[in-house]
Structure 1
Amino acid sequence: MFVMMKKLTLATTVSVMALTGAALAADMDGVSEIRVSTSYDAAQDSNAAELFPEIATDVQVAIAKLIPSSNNAADPIIRVDLRKVALDGDTMLPDSAEFNQLEGVVAIDTNTGEGGQSFKVNILAATDLNAVPEGYIGIAPSTEDFYNAMVEGFALNVAEQYGTVNEAGGKISN
């Protein structure tokens, strides 16, 4: 029963992500480029590079699905630096390649180099979303879709944050 509930929660989360992504893309200006890199091995003992060699590409593709691209070089560039992949805070992941934390920093650069912004994205997968610490966004994935839920949750947060930036790179106030 619990496994069924987790799968239902993930299916609902993924469906909401897809609908939200389409709505976000319709209202957003395009970006001229999306660059994703990893720096977690340099900063700490981590085996994420060996276990997930394609995570930067996967995050880049997930962001590109949510934010329209543009051929205009004057449009902003999104740069993402993935800094931590961990299981309950431990960056030395088990052989099973399980993880429940994905952290990074996103910079949105303007073509003039002025008025850009940067922000942290911290994603935590948890079955009990009430246990998510402050500053993290909770995702409730099933075991089978753990990786995709983390990557798509990260991308969705980037798209939501990008949607709050005006053409000059400043934060849009409501």
Structure 2
Amino acid sequence: MKYLRTTALALTMSAMGVTASADTPVISDVEVDADYSAYKRSNVVEVWPSLEEGLGAAISSLVEFGNGEMPVIKVELNKIAIDGDTALPDSGEINLIEGQVVVHASVDATVEKAVDDREPDVIQASPLIVTAMTGDGGAVPEGWVSGPPSEEDFYNALIGAYAVEFVNRLDLD
């Protein structure tokens, strides 16, 4: 694991600089849906209104797209929080993204919804939680960057780490 070390936090990240390779998953679509209704005080939609699009774009940058016979991947977000609280501060700080990784079988574009309105079969599903943790304030290793994080740093690091871990968990063989 690598850490983005700042004076106020260390975000656990794995391979943020992933590039396309022979192991790059090929899918037909990626969808990100969010339902925070289980948390009455959640204000993530007001604070980060484009979170679904941002995560979708981050995942899309790590996969390749094929025809409609390839699997459809979905992220079902259900909790965004700061220190366990789903009521985010006005500054927008977050340190937890929680959701579900779901892979659906390919969709045959010739099947009309009127004939068969079922969702494609789920071939993989598992929970996925990414958190940011406070750093210990120790020495910064050579080659690492140190500085105070902004709200955008929290957001971008967590979105990026969630996308990388989501793609790492895909088992499309």
Shorter-chain TM-score tier: 0.7 to 0.9
Change in 2 beyond 3 A, CA 1:98/1:29: closer
Deviations 1:114-135 (A, max 9, x none): 4611111101001348xxxxxx
Residues of 2 paired with 1:79 and 1:11: CA distance?
24
Change in 2 beyond 3 A, CA 1:22/1:10: farther
Number of residue equivalences: 144
Match of 2:16 in 1: 17
State whether structure 2 residue 172 is matched by structure 1 residue 160.
no
Change in 2 beyond 3 A, CA 1:5/1:114: closer
Letter matched to residue 120 of structure 1: P
Change in 2 beyond 3 A, CA 1:155/1:5: closer
TM-score normalised by L of structure 1: 0.73
CA contact 1:6–1:127 (8 Å) conserved in 2: no
Match of 2:62 in 1: 66
Match of 1:143 in 2: 149
Structure with more relative contact order (C-alpha pairs < 8 Å, separation 6 or more): 2
Match of 1:89 in 2: 84
CA contact 2:10–2:135 (8 Å) conserved in 1: no
Cα RMSD for the two superposed structures: 2.8
Match of 1:6 in 2: 6
CA contact 1:10–1:142 (8 Å) conserved in 2: no
Change in 2 beyond 3 A, CA 1:11/1:105: closer
Paired residues for 1:28-67 under 5 Å: 28-40=24-36, 42-45=37-40, 46-67=42-63
TM-fit CA distance, 1:94: 1.1
Residues of 2 paired with 1:10 and 1:26: CA distance?
31
Instruction: Looking at secondary structure, tell me which structure has more helix per residue.
Output: 1
- Unaligned 5+ residue runs, structure 1? 130-140, 167-174
Change in 2 beyond 3 A, CA 1:6/1:88: same
CA contact 2:32–2:55 (8 Å) conserved in 1: yes
TM-score normalised by L of structure 2: 0.73
Aligned match for 1:107, one of 98, 102, 111: 102
Match of 1:133 in 2: none
TM-fit CA distance, 1:11: 10
Identity of aligned residues (%): 31
- Give 1 or 2 for the bigger CA radius of gyration: 2
Instruction: Looking at secondary structure, tell me which structure has more strand per residue.
Output: 2
Change in 2 beyond 3 A, CA 1:5/1:110: closer
- Unaligned 5+ residue runs, structure 2? 108-119, 137-146
TM-fit CA distance, 1:31: 0.6
